[in-house]
């Protein structure tokens, strides 16, 4: 059974990372869509760096750890690694920290920087500023940006995502408000007989296309659902 999972900010909420909706899409009075754009970075790199530096520092704090939902997904994958892909919209690294292997971070990663001149991507844990020297070429200053996909930029891995969606037997959407495209459109790419499950505290604009909607918090409902899935596989004799 080919399992495709899509996670959003809701899976990290119980790890202490505010979702976009919690801050109702605002950050220090700025709409996220205004800060997370190439134009904003062009016009006011200081502001955009400040936005990401604050989130990177928060993510680096000791108490921000994977929760039971991240861990259950990593555990489940261990027994299904050949038929399992985890797409995340989140730029936090909690799926990696939890041990998930087959992860596609379609909106990039907060703990990486990308050189705007060479497109080279490097792991990055410090603050970035408009004068941060490139560690490889210190004379090049201010060319590093957060390696995240801004609004108006193409998400990563869209071909792989399309292929996985078209072949999915089970699609599980966890903690996403399903308003940001193309992520929100992935469910529509799954086959008509694909089993589609939505785990979310609330209903979303996509709830109607899911075979099953589970209302509750990810840290409770994800482990529960994956256990149920394993039990179903055992009783149906599926590997």
Which residue's CB is nearer to ligand BV8, number 66 or number 175? 175
Q: How far apart are CA 235 and CA 116, in angstroms?
A: 52
Helices (H), 38-134: 38-43, 45-59, 68-80, 94-98
**Residues at the interface with ligand BV8 (CB under 6 A):** 8-10, 13-14, 19-21, 33, 36, 89, 91, 107, 148-155, 175-177, 179-181, 183, 200-202, 204, 217-218
Selecting among 30, 95, 107, 156, the annotated active-site residue is 107
Question: How far is the CA of 198 from the CAs of 39, 138, 172, 187, 210, in angstroms?
Answer: 34, 47, 6, 10, 6
Total length of the chain = 239
Q: How far apart are CA 86 and CA 101, in angstroms?
A: 9
**Catalytic-residue membership of 63:** no
Q: Least distance from C-beta 75 to ligand BV8, angstroms? A: 18
Q: Least distance from C-beta 233 to ligand BV8, angstroms? A: 24
Q: Least distance from C-beta 71 to ligand BV8, angstroms? A: 14
**So which residues are the catalytic ones?**
107
């Amino acid at each position: 059974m080919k399992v495709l999972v899509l996670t959003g900010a809701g899976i990290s909420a119980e790890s202490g990372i505010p979702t976009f909706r919690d801050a109702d899409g605002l950050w220090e009075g700025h709409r996220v869509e205004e800060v997370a754009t190439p134009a904003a970075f062009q016009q006011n790199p200081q502001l955009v760096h400040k936005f990401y530096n604050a989130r990177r520092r928060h993510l680096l704090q000791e108490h921000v750890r994977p929760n039971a939902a991240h861990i259950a997904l990593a555990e489940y994958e261990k027994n299904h690694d050949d038929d399992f892909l985890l797409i995340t919209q989140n730029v936090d690294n909690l799926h990696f920290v939890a041990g998930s292997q087959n992860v596609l971070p379609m909106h990039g990663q907060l703990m990486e920087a990308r050189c705007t001149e060479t497109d080279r991507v490097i792991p990055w844990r410090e603050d970035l500023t408009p004068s941060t020297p490139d560690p490889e070429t210190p004379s090049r200053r201010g060319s590093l940006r957060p390696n995240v996909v801004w609004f108006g930029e193409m998400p990563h891995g869209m071909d792989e995502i399309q292929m996985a969606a078209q072949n999915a037997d089970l699609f599980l959407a966890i903690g996403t408000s399903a308003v940001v495209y193309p992520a929100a459109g992935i469910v529509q790419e799954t086959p008509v007989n694909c089993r589609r499950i939505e785990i979310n505290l609330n209903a979303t604009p996509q709830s109607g296309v899911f075979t099953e909607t589970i209302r509750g918090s990810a840290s409770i409902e994800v482990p529960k659902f994956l256990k149920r899935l394993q039990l179903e596989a055992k009783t149906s004799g599926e590997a």
